[in-house]
Every structure is written in structure tokens, then in C-alpha cells.
Amino acid sequence: MKLLILIPMVFLLAAGCGTEIGPDPTGDGPESRALLESRLRLAGEYLESGRVDSAARIFREIRESDPESAEAAAGLTRVYLLTGRNAEAIRMGRTAVRLDPRRAQAWEDLGKAQAREGRREDAVWSLRKAAQLQPDNPVYQNELGAALGRLGDYGEAIAALTRAVELDPEYPEALNNLGMAHFQAGDPERAEKFLRRALEARPGYARAHLNRAIVFRERGENEAALESLDRALRSDPGLIPAYDLAGAIHFQEGRFEEAAEAYREIIDRSPDFAPAYVRLGEVALQRGEDGEAVRMFEEAIALAPREPASYALLSRARMRRKEYDRAGTAILWALNLDPDNPDYYRRAGELFLAQDRWREAENALTRARDLDPENPEIFLELGNLYLRIRQPGQARQALTRAVEIDPEGEAGLQARRELERLEGKERPTPEPEPGRGEHFWESIFESIELSPRREGE
């Protein structure tokens, strides 16, 4: 990473002979100014050498004596940024740019703190100010391009990052970011070109190896992606996203043990990383280890209790264990957290079907259809439901729609087979299987505007 001088350089001034008391550092005389600049220089050296606490002490002392010192405010902004105190960095950064609106470094630090706090539009505004003040500074152009990319403005991001690379053709971070901006803009070939250049500039650049793996996977080159990930992890064994992507590729290829190994590596290195437990749960489902899947999804929920996908997967695992009541509670939580998710209503429909609750299943699947009217699998499930309750007209309509949406896909082909079987024939209504007496908590019916069926109805 290109390093900027943290505090504006000051020239050494010959210190005058002080009195016994010494010059007032806040005064206007040359001796006072020399002492002030000397202390600012010392604080900057402390920052560069990693002695952040010592630097902070000097900056605070200067601000106590002179609250209008832009240099001290900018220095404290950098201190807070380096120590992860982003809210304080934003507050002090605003003070710094108010005191000296032409201090580009302060604008950059303010923008970086805003980006870390998720205030992306504010970050772009601040970083744009830094780049405008010093348009030939490649670091500011790189930071601005990265912030624009996070906003999804890939055209402007590419322009800023291209300018950074023009100013410094061997700038690995800018080359890496430019590659990923092109990737997000839908040009993986150009992305790979710039990622190669980033690795030529810095062969052990783990993030560039990781991003190159992302590009390879997008092109369907999974083995090349895994090779890039191996290089990334040799350079940085703690790079969690590399393990996550390796696990996803192994999972996609059906190599479930290798996938599980990658996710276990994540947990060993970052035990509070909830997505790794979710992935291990999905691996367990593929292996038919439903009890282990339940345990993993519950671990994930304990770490990230407001992630609806974990509840939906837990519902699926509980359903496979025929724990319908608990499955219903889990899918209710998913719906409470994400009430407009068609997949969760579809899962609710499947759960009702497993309990032979035809009317509730129809209502849930209809809600899923309304939320996602181009999903052939929902129409296939609705068609199968209508076949089971001997409504061939509605079954034909739903199955035909599934074929129209996905004529060559799995759902469309299965719907076509069901239509061929139908041909005017009606299926008898199946008798409910024994042992299905459990049902949802009543609140789940209310959440999707259903009325619970009472015993004896």
C-alpha cells in the first residue's frame, strides 16, 4: 500500500535560546512556531513508527493549548482511524477539514472513516474532495475509485482507478481495484488483465490472487480458481474469504469433505464467523446428516440471530427429521425477519404439504407466486398440490405456466411430464399419513393471513 506522509512535512527551524520558562507553543513568535512545528514533527514520527499512543498524547496537548490547530485535529483523526475508532475519526476529521478545507490528507482520512462506518455516499464526497485538491495523487484516486465501486458506480470508479494507474503504473492496489471494477461492470476478461498486472507488480499480493480466483470461477474455470486460492493462502494464511470461496467451489463440485475442511479452517481461525457454520450445515444436509445440520444452523443463529437464511435452513433440516412443529417455528422466524421473501413462503408451503394441510399450503404457495411470478418451481409445486387435491384445471394452468417459464430446465421438464400424466385424469386425494399431528404455532398462520385448523375440522 502506498504510504502517504501522515503529517504535513515541516522544515526544521533553528530553535532560539529559550528563557528559563521557555517559549509559549501557542504564541505567535518564531520561537513558539518552531516549537509547535517540532512537536508536530515528533508526533508524525511517532505515528510512522507505530507509537500511536505517544503521537495521540502530543496531538491532544496541542489541541488543549490551541483548539484551532488544524494540524493537531488532522493528526488525531489519523490516530482514531488507525485504532479503529471510526466514529471519533469522523468527528475529528470534520473539525480538521473545517479548520483547513484545503488539507487533502484530512479529507482522505475522513472519507476512509466514513466508508468503514457504511456511510458510502459521504465517503465518496470526502474522497472526491481529496482527489480534487491533489488530482495527481494516485492514492487519492485509488481511494475514490474504491469508494465509487462500493456505491455501484462502476463507470466513475473505472475512471478514477484508471487515473490512479496512469499516475503510477506499478500501483498494485489500484491495479487490483481497477480489475474488480471491470469485473463488476461485466468485463471479466479486462478484469483478469489488470489483476495479472497487479500480481506482476507484487507477486505475493494475496487479495489479487483471491480476486483472480473470483474471475476464474465466474468463467467456470474452477481448477484455475482453486490454484489461485492456494497461492492466496500461501501468501496470507488468514485470508478468510479465500477459504470461503474454496469451500463453495468444492461444494459445487460435490467434494463435500474438502468443502467441510475449508469451512472448519475458517472456524479454527475465526470462531465467531457465523457463515462458516451455515456452510457446514449445508454440507451436512447434502450428506444426509440432518442432526449435524441442525446443530450447525443453531450455532450460526446464536452468533447472528438476525440472519433469516439460517432460520430457513434450520427449518429445512427440522422438516427432514419430521420435526414439523420446530420446523414451523424456524420458518416463522425467517418470515418475521424477511416478510417478502418468496422462498420462505415456498418453504412454508412445503411444510404444510408435509402435514397434508392443503388449504394452508395453497395460500403459502400462492403468496410465494405473487412475490416471484417468474419462478417455475413455485408453479410446479402449485400444480402438484392441485393434482393431489383433484383440481385438474388449476393443476394444468400452474404446470403449463412452469413449462412456459422454463421449457428446457428441470422444473419445466418435470411440469411437462406431469401434464402428460394428467391428460384429463384426476388423482385421488391421498389419505393423511399417520404421525403427522404436529402443526405450526398459531402465529405463523397469522403472519401469512391464514387461520389455524383446529382438531376435528
Question: Mean of the pLDDT values across residues 73-95?
Answer: 94
pLDDT at 26 over 80: no
Q: Which of 137, 136, 182, 133 is nearest to 158 (CA)?
A: 182
Q: Which residue has the higher pLDDT, 447 or 316?
A: 316
Question: Which alpha helices (H) appear in 83-201, and where do they start and end?
Answer: 86-99, 104-116, 120-133, 138-151, 154-167, 172-184, 188-201
Reduced to 3 states, what is the DSSP secondary structure of residue 83?
coil
Least confident of 61-70, 200-209, 253-262, 267-276: 61-70
Q: Give every CB contact of residue 412 below 8 A, 6+ residues apart in sequence.
A: 376, 402, 403, 405, 406
Contact indicator for 68, 99 with CB cutoff of 8 Å: yes
Question: Which alpha helices (H) appear in 270-341, and where do they start and end?
Answer: 274-287, 290-303, 308-320, 324-337
The rounded Cα 274 to chain-centroid distance in angstroms is 13
Q: Give per-residue pLDDT as tens, 332-373.
A: 999 999 999 999 999 999 999 999 899 999 999 999 999 999
Question: Mean of the pLDDT values across residues 55-68?
Answer: 90
Distance, CA of 266 to CA of 274 (rounded, Å)? 10
Distance, CA of 344 to CA of 348 (rounded, Å)? 6
**Domains in the chain and their CATH numbers?**
24-127 (1.25.40.10)
- C-alpha dihedral (255, 258, 260, 262), degrees to nearest 10: -130
0.85 surpassed by pTM: no
pLDDT given at position 29: 53
Question: Mean of the pLDDT values across residues 289-310?
Answer: 97
Most confident of 62-66, 228-232, 387-391: 228-232
Contact indicator for 205, 235 with CB cutoff of 8 Å: yes
Q: Which residue has the higher pLDDT, 53 or 7?
A: 53
Q: Give every CB contact of residue 219 below 8 A, 6+ residues apart in sequence.
A: 188
Contact indicator for 141, 171 with CB cutoff of 8 Å: no
